[in-house]
Amino acid sequence: MTNLEKYRNAFVEGLGVSEDQVDGLTFQAVPAWDSVGHMSLIAALEDAFDIVFDTDDIVDFSSFEKGKEILAKYDIVI
């Protein structure tokens, strides 16, 4: 599985959205991306890439695109 596939799957699993909703998704654009959804997404990404996000990155993780930039800090290229 490619990193992009893992990344997309984490959104589907963490937020419970369908695959066609994932691209370009932003924080609170869907009801599922609330406080609980955000932490589920963070947990799904940490499991998928075997990383632990810094608190700053949890706060800054505001969109599908921003998440790619944040993951690059952990040497994960999407």
Partner 1 sequence: MSDLKYQQFKGNSAADIPAVSENCLYRAEIPYAPENYSEMSRKGYIFADRTLGVSIAVNKCSLDLDKMIRFSIEASSGDDEDVLNIALASFPFDRRFHVRPVPDNEVAGDIIRKWVSELSEVYVCKYKDKTVGFIDLEPYGDNDCFIHLAAVEERYRAAGVAVSLYAFALKKAKEKGCDKLLGRISAGNTAVMNLYTYLGGVFSEPVDVFVRNEI
Binding site for partner 1 (CB under 8 A): 27-28, 31, 33-36, 38-39, 42-43, 53, 55, 58-59
Largest CA distance in the chain: 30
Question: Smallest gap, in angstroms, from Cβ of residue 38 to partner 1?
Answer: 5
Residue number with CB closer to partner 1 (7 or 53): 53
The 10 Å Cβ neighbour count of residue 30 is 15
Asked whether the CA dihedral 23, 61, 75, 53 is positive or negative, the reply is negative
Residue number with CB closer to partner 1 (2 or 55): 55
